[in-house]
Amino acid sequence: MINDERQAVNGKMVLILGVTASGKGRLGFELARSLGAEIISVDSMKVYRRMDIGTAKPPREARDRVKYHLVDMVEPSDSFSVAAFFEAASDAIEQIKSSKKNVVAIGGTALYIKALLYGLFEGAGSDEQLRDELRARAETEGLTALHRELTTVDAIAAERIDPNDARRIVRALEVYRITGKPISSFQKQWEKRQMKHDWTIIGLRREKADASSLINRRVKKMINAGLVDEVESLLDEDRPLSRQARCAIGYAEIIDHLNGKTSLEEAIELIKVHTRQLAKSQRTWFKTFRDVNWIDIEPNEPAERIFDRAVEVLRVE
């Protein structure tokens, strides 16, 4: 991008969102490189060190050329919350802006995006004993039963939450049991808020068939890149993986394979299925987002064309 174009967007904060494997990482990198910006990762799994292949972290070459924040923050044995993300992201924004650089945020973790845009919503407290009870039920009855229960008490949250996301299903049921109110009613607080910063939001949207094809290709690429070896290495570490890390798509399925519960071929197919389910829940969440400049991408549309369309959005905005 030439200097006058860079000047035209100087000071703007850009958020690139989209479902998994939509191409947001590449677009965000190219925009940041062109704008002289730094990147904030809005992803609940890229925060974990040594969980590289399964989380599709940006390659080291990209991270050497553009500074990324909120990547490789914590150990896989640690838990990480939306509150911890919000604090770290706020610090990163302040640091980037004090350096007189532009901010480009990239992500698909809907709750983290909501927090980035509007701040944290008032929580409903917690009950560790109740949470343990719900986790035990998930082990004995299966996660499907808990997700079905969530559908009866909070259909909105059930539609938004991936059926394989044990942590969020348990939390939603915990909130309902504590307060008698669905967690989605608390999250509606976001709908009444104004954005905390002057964000320009660009959303990448693909037809479902195209998105599914890209997901399948990504999973194949991850396996070929050594995902099984990466998981084995993580399991060999002295400190066990946190519940959050163990439940990550790609890691949970390979862990089951290594424990003899599935063949590798079955694990690979489950990763594809669960990733498509994640994409579906992301689409549902994104429908609730305001002020998104959607770019509808054609199958096989060149990355250069997508970049040009995003730049045009920034010029108009």
Select the CATH number that applies to the domain covering 3-119+193-316 from these four: 3.40.50.300, 3.20.20.450, 3.40.50.1860, 3.10.310.70.
3.40.50.300
C-beta separation of 93 from 103 below 8 A: yes
Total-model pTM = 0.82
pLDDT at residue 229 greater than cutoff 60 = yes
Distances (CA, A) of 115 to 21, 64, 189: 22, 28, 11
Give residue-wise pLDDT tens across range 160-173.
Answer: 898 888 888 998 99
Average pLDDT (240-253) is 95
> Is the pLDDT score of 124 beyond 70?
no
Architecture of domain 128-189: Orthogonal Bundle (1.10)
Q: Assign 129 a pLDDT band (cuts: 50, 70, 90).
A: confident
What is the pLDDT at residue 1? 47
Q: Provide the pLDDT confidence category of residue 191 given band limits of 50, 70 and 90.
A: low
Residue 5 has pLDDT above 70, yes or no: no
Instruction: Give the per-residue pLDDT at 190.
Output: 59
Domain extents in the chain: 3-119+193-316, 128-189
Exposure letters 134-146 (e unless 16+ CB within 10 A, then b): bbebbeeeebeeb
